[in-house]
Structure 1
């Protein structure tokens, strides 16, 4: 029997933000530390929400890892107030969610994750927040500027994992790969050649890749 998800509304820079929080069943991970993962969803103007199946897969994978997990809707999506603000406002939404989520989990290491547009927002936030880890799924390289003067510089101590499908119909896979390889601080790359942008039929692989990234 499926349980109905429980969301709540928190204060954000453009009004209320809808969030869903699942505390870890065990407050300690395998190495004895606590962890908090916050996941950002795809582009709001193209149907992206925190209920997206890729986001849901990440959400469940982090729970399986024993993390406290938060997903949320950007402004103007679901019950979140406000209007789409072309990445800057959405970055502020994520920063507000992080600030709010860290209050009940003050001892938890911060981990950021995102899919598509959400990975761009997570990447920008990571440059500011210096989380313990960053996980980007199908980052929209070529659609948004990932130049350091725009996104900021990712901290060398942040563990960064990039998950990408080789048959991405939204983002040019080769461009993502070339961009990642050219960086001074390179991510660990998990590549699924037959996967599309939305990982149709490949969600099991996606879940396993997330678990592997933190093994």
Structure 2
């Protein structure tokens, strides 16, 4: 799990990246819960998602949104964090332009950001959305959802 630092819209972003074990391997990116609630890329669920995708042969990235850990910038109520996620996806895809497919996974706030990114990036073919905060954020932008995936809600 090598630490990586890559450029984001407001400065550098800190992450952990596991390269693909074979050519044309799929890509996965995992997004963490809300920073004001203590969410980081080191969240237990985020780490388990990361390990699961890695074991299944994906090139896998998890990273801290702006203002979290070593990532530069300040929290931007979702607008800037969506830009962070787009930059992170661009960065991982630059190493794997031949990827067969791309998945996004998010936990809580990260699920909301991930689903917004999914609607903007047609190469994202699958998603895992854990505890999306539908009571806090509007998810009507998902109608119709262009990808298949799973939503896990307690």
2:78 maps to what in 1?
87
> Matches of 2:4 and 2:57 in 1, distance apart?
22
1:188-207 aligned within 5 A: none
5+ residue gaps, structure 1, are 166-215
Runs of 4+, deviation exceeding 4 Å: none
> Matches of 2:2 and 2:28 in 1, distance apart?
17
With the length of structure 2 as denominator, give the TM-score of the two structures.
0.93
Greater length-normalized contact order (CA 8 Å, ≥ 6 residues apart): 2
Question: Does structure 1 residue 128 correspond to structure 2 residue 117?
Answer: no
1:119 maps to what in 2?
111
How far has the Cα of 1:164 moved from its partner?
2.2
1:1-215 aligned within 5 A: 5-25=1-21, 27=22, 34-108=25-99, 109-130=101-122, 131-148=124-141, 153-155=144-146, 158-165=147-154
5+ residue gaps, structure 2, are none
Closer/same/farther in 2, CA of residues 132 and 87 from structure 1, 3 Å limit: same
How far has the Cα of 1:119 moved from its partner?
0.4
How far has the Cα of 1:19 moved from its partner?
1.4
> Matches of 2:17 and 2:96 in 1, distance apart?
11
Per-residue Cα deviation, 1:40-59 (whole angstroms, up to 9, x for no partner): 00000110000000000100
> Matches of 1:104 and 1:6 in 2, distance apart?
15
Closer/same/farther in 2, CA of residues 22 and 43 from structure 1, 3 Å limit: same
Kindly report the root-mean-square deviation, in angstroms, between the aligned alpha carbons of the 2 structures: 1.4
Per-residue Cα deviation, 1:54-111 (whole angstroms, up to 9, x for no partner): 0001001101111110000000000000000000100000000011110110111211
Contact 1:124/1:152 (<8 A) preserved? no
Indicate the structure (1 or 2) with the bigger Cα radius of gyration.
1
